[in-house]
């Protein structure tokens, strides 16, 4: 859910990205509680459950989706090197409609919200990095909102391709189509043209 953070340049006075700063400290201080191995198709979170953990994706890929009228709508992906979470549940500590599913063999480190909060509170630089990350996630969400509202499938495709080339390298065609809110057939037609 925090992919593509490097693409935004926020004036930090620090050449490293805020996300890299935080991941480095998670690793240096070993604040994860356990490691999780998911087979392709396994669920990390099901809809209408609470999950306040963060996950550091060591390898593999995840997709985040919601169900609407029996249709699965993919809304985010997590890649190797990302820090991901069901952000709505993480922020509110309440149930969320998100499903998080492994779409290939995936290795994760689980970080409890309380351990993450402790890490951030001890270090003003990390607290600032987290604030920057929230801003970046907000920007990404606003970009995503405009993506979905863009009527032309070709324009939607172009917007997302420009912003998220990794998506097209790592994710299966059917999930890209779901993310772009179009049928796999429409995506095939567009990507060949």
Q: Which residues bind its own copies (CB under 8 A)?
A: 8-11, 66, 68-69, 71, 73, 75, 87-88, 91-93, 97, 127, 130-131, 134-139, 141-142, 144-146, 148-152, 155, 181
Shorter beta-carbon distance to its own copies: residue 36 or 137: 137
Shorter beta-carbon distance to its own copies: residue 124 or 169: 124
Q: How far is the CB of 107 from its own copies (least distance, A)?
A: 26
Alpha-carbon distance of 15 to 42, in angstroms, equals 37
Q: Which residues pair with 134 in a beta bridge?
A: none
Q: How far is the CB of 30 from its own copies (least distance, A)?
A: 25
Q: How far is the CB of 58 from its own copies (least distance, A)?
A: 25
Q: For residue 23, what are its two tokens?
A: 């991941």
Tell me 49's DSSP state.
Answer: B
Shorter beta-carbon distance to its own copies: residue 39 or 152: 152
Widest pairwise Cα distance in the chain? 52
Shorter beta-carbon distance to its own copies: residue 108 or 133: 133
Shorter beta-carbon distance to its own copies: residue 69 or 169: 69
Q: Coil, strand or helix: which one is 88?
A: helix
Q: For residue 7, what are its two tokens?
A: 């693409």
Helix, strand, coil distribution of the chain in percent, nearest 5? 45, 25, 30
Phi and psi (nearest 5°) for 112?
-70, 145
Alpha-carbon distance of 94 to 119, in angstroms, equals 22
Q: How far is the CB of 105 from its own copies (least distance, A)?
A: 28
Q: How far is the CB of 26 from its own copies (least distance, A)?
A: 19
């Amino acid at each position: 859910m925090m992919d593509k953070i490097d693409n935004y340049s926020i004036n930090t006075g620090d050449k490293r990205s805020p996300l890299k700063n935080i991941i480095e400290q998670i690793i240096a201080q070993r604040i994860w509680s356990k490691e999780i191995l998911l087979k392709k198709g396994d669920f990390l979170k099901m809809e209408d459950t609470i999950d306040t953990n963060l996950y550091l994706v060591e390898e593999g890929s995840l997709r985040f989706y919601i169900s609407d009228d029996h249709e699965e709508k993919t809304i985010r992906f997590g890649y190797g090197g990302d820090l991901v979470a069901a952000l709505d549940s993480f922020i509110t500590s309440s149930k969320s409609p998100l499903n998080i599913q492994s779409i290939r063999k995936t290795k994760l480190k689980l970080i409890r919200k309380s351990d993450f909060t402790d890490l951030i509170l001890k270090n003003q630089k990390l607290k600032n990095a987290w604030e920057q990350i929230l801003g970046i996630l907000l920007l990404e969400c606003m970009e995503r909102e405009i993506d979905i509202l863009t009527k032309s499938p070709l324009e939607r495709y172009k917007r997302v391709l420009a912003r998220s080339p990794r998506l097209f390298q790592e994710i299966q065609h059917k999930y890209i189509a779901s993310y772009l809110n179009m049928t796999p057939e429409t995506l095939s037609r567009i990507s060949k043209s």
